[in-house]
Amino acid sequence: MDEKVQALEEAYEPFLKSLIPHLPELSKALIRLAELEKRGSLDTLLELAEFVAIAKKSMTQPMLTDITRLLVKGVEMADDLVRMGAMEDIQSLIRAYTVVKTHPEVTTIPETTWALARMLRDPDVRHAGGVFITLLKAWGEQMNGKKLEPVKQ
């Protein structure tokens, strides 16, 4: 038995010596792996890796080209939206939603049609409503194949 242990030590000694300069990084990596295991995330990551490996094996070059083209187009569209200020609009919508959800006492639910009509006189409601109606009109025009024109007031 001692001969087998000695043979293993001799076989792995160069490899183990090569790890010595990398012990700080290896230590951090092992701690991170232990944390992932403790949270149950390691199994999820391994399952995800298996899925990616299977997907990679099943994809052909034309499929990868199509996916890449769609991803590039999606990034370009996202960039256009960011340049037009969509992020600020979405953030303001999220802030407003958060206020309404966390402070239901500020929410006014009109009980009559007349009360709803009075709410439409509020400049903030008119502004948001006008943007929303204009967006719906432009979207409908796009869906119907019409060329978009700025809405005349």
Q: Where are the alpha helices (DSSP H) in 40-122?
A: 41-58, 61-83, 86-102, 113-119
Domain shared by 54 and 68, yes or no? no
Domain shared by 20 and 41, yes or no? yes
Domain shared by 45 and 79, yes or no? no
CA distances (Å), origin 152, targets 96, 113, 130, 134, 138: 28, 28, 12, 10, 12
pLDDT tens, residue by residue, 67-125: 899 999 999 999 999 999 999 999 999 999 999 899 988 888 889 999 989 999 999 99
Angle 41-58/23-39 helices, nearest 10 degrees? 100
Domain shared by 23 and 45, yes or no? yes
Domain shared by 91 and 129, yes or no? no
CA distances (Å), origin 98, targets 31, 89, 95, 122, 132: 37, 14, 5, 21, 19
The number of domains in the chain is: 3
Task: Name which of 79, 82, 103, 104 is nearest 91 in CA terms.
Answer: 82
Q: Under a CB-based contact definition with an 8 Å cutoff, are residues 108 and 119 in contact?
A: yes
Residue 80's pLDDT is what? 92
Does the pLDDT at position 151 exceed 80? no
Domain shared by 91 and 115, yes or no? no
**Which structural domain range is residue 89 located in?**
64-101
Q: How many CB atoms lie within 10 A of CB 119?
A: 14
